[in-house]
Amino acid sequence: MNYKLCQSELKEMLEKAEDELFNSKRIKFKKCKDWRKDNVPSEAGVYAIFENDNDLIYIGESGNLKDRMNEINRTVNHSFRKQFGHLRYNGIKSRKKFTDDIETLLDDYFSENLFVSLLPVNFGRLEIETYLISKYQDKVINSVKKRKQ
């Protein structure tokens, strides 16, 4: 069997995923289990984080979106939170977490200003993430160069 996609088919698939992700419901962050239980599927997929519901700031992928949204609330587990804390509050990056005052600022900022869109995807999520990070590199805080190839 030949599973090779032509360039136009691949581009069409990536653009469709982009459209679905960016036009899906934007869910306001909350730091509680019920938020994840009620809003986030336990499926593999791609997610986009928006500041104030419209400014894209991060693209990510995960084998389990619900688990990943749990991790985003803990600096030790999520690169977005580490990068955001460093950029927004001059937090000192470490392997563990920021000082308690910066962690509180991050928790408050996330719940007041950040939204997430989710796209369950069972195959090709890394390709979608890489495509979107490359396309929106001037807007997002993650970098294509840091991605595993």
Tell which residue, 85, 80, 90, 86, has the closest CA to residue 106: 85
Is the predicted pLDDT of residue 43 greater than 60, yes or no? yes
Q: What is the pLDDT of residues 127-138, one digit of tens each?
A: 999 999 999 999
Q: What is the mean pLDDT of the chain?
A: 87
pLDDT at 149: 46
What average pLDDT does range 9-30 have in this prediction? Answer: 93
Is the predicted pLDDT of residue 147 greater than 60, yes or no? no
pLDDT at 42: 93
CA distance 124 to 26: 22
pLDDT at 6: 81
Fold (topology level) of 10-73+100-137:
GIY-YIG endonuclease (3.40.1440)
Q: What is the pLDDT of residues 78-91, one digit of tens each?
A: 888 888 888 888 86
Greater pLDDT, 8 or 115 = 115
Is the predicted pLDDT of residue 93 greater than 80, yes or no? no
Phi, psi of 109 (to 5 degrees): -65, -45
pTM value? 0.88
Q: Which ranges of the chain would DSSP assign to H, the alpha helix?
A: 7-23, 33-39, 65-71, 79-89, 100-113, 125-135
Greater pLDDT, 43 or 71 = 43
Greater pLDDT, 123 or 4 = 123
**DSSP secondary structure string for all residues of 112-146:** HHEEEEEEE-SS-HHHHHHHHHHHTTTT-SS-GGG
Domain boundaries, the chain: 10-73+100-137
